Amino acid sequence: MDGIVPGGVAAGTTAVGLAYGRVGLTVELPADRTTVITPASEPAVPDEAGTLRQALRNPVAGPPLRSLVRAGQSVAISLCDVTRPQPREAMVRAILDELDGITRPEDVTLLVATGTHRACTDEEIRGMLGGELAASLRVVNHDARDPATLRWCGYHGDAVPVWLNTLWVSADVRITTGFVEPHFFAGFSGGPKMVAPGLAGLETVLTLHDAKRIGSPRATWGICAGNPVHDDVRAIAAATGVDFSLDVALNRDKDIVAAFAGELLAMHAAARDFVRVSAMRPVRSLFDVVVTTNSGYPLDQNLYQAVKGMSAAAEVVKPGGLIICAAECADGFPDHGSFRDVLASAPTPAGLLASIAARTRTVPDQWQVQVLARVLNRARVGAHTATLSDADLRSAHLFGVPDIAAAVEAELASAGPGAQVCVLPEGPQTIPYLEESAGRT
């Protein structure tokens, strides 16, 4: 049944803070029926610059960064776009400081690894890097749709046609930077994803994210080995070459808690092991209701990104249960791209999946639609947003939840006295999973 069924729950509540937009949101939920799952409480490193410096000088594998670069060489550094909370300024400064006396500012190009996302604005780039770095370095938004900026690199992985950013491929030294967290169909973010899809052409990204790959049961949170998406991502990075990589792990305040550097694949494996312990939580049973977020700003800027929080919730919701996602969605669906149109292209989630499976060519916004349709086939999904109306959301097979606490109360009353609610205050920063499905690698 769609929507929320009215009802009542016994008194006795607990206040739960949700990551929502820039300022957060607090909801009152029944104390005796609520399980809150958060990442391990990791303190920020006391010396951010020192931690990054040590990682660059003592890599997980391979030689230290400074020994890899010679004077006069061009250096390309890939970094996350504005939808990711990467501490870009600190990471880029650490790299430049380590290469001081070898590399000049004019030798460096910062490539914003947008994948198929929109370009970051000048204002956003200043916010990402700080005014000084943004003004003194060449910063280029990758454009997956501009053939003039791409170079053919052959077929790699499972017959993936690989086009990569020309500035990246032609650089003498290529350095990836990013942060590692569980990813809803690629296993984990960071590492090789900063090459492809981050700096890849549209045809490459569409192949990596086709319906068959994303539809695999192993294309999910926390799984890399045997995940057809991540297997090909690793293959592309290995075949086309990365000279050095720097990734960080972040806590709920987006502070650095650990840094990893060195040879790309070994570094990323070490970072994944660290993050898996802090960001994945086993549970003993499924829940009638799961309240989730998309980790607040900048990750909850639109409904497209909020699918990740919904997908995390789907891991532990009962079939036919209720998921409520609190995501500010200041950027709406968003308006650019085809996400809204693809969602509205079929009358049911099952119809969406069938339509996607029948396509001979994917479209970028299909990926999130495919994941969302799988979630909707399992549970009802409501959204609490600042911008989207109930009518907007219903056009996307969702519905509006203006009052989260009242919605939870009603659903628990409908489900019966033993009903339970799970809360993921940080959304996909913590991925719950049923204990019997343990063993993710």
Question: Catalytic residue positions?
Answer: 117, 183
| Helix residue ranges, H only, 147-280 | 166-170, 202-208, 211-214, 228-240, 264-279
Contact between 262 and 60 (Cβ < 8 Å): yes
d(CA 237, CA 140): 20
Phi, psi of 245 (to 5 degrees): -140, 145
d(CA 149, CA 140): 11
Tell me which amino acid residue 369 is.
V
- How many Cα atoms are found within 13 Å in the side-chain-facing hemisphere of 104? 5
d(CA 259, CA 180): 10
Buried b (16+ CB within 10 A) or exposed e, 325-360: bbbbbbbbbbeebebbebbeebeebeebbebbeeee
Phi, psi of 90 (to 5 degrees): -65, -40
Phi, psi of 300 (to 5 degrees): -105, 35
What does each C-alpha distance from 110 to 180, 225, 247, 432 come to in angstroms? 19, 30, 16, 35
Contact between 324 and 401 (Cβ < 8 Å): yes
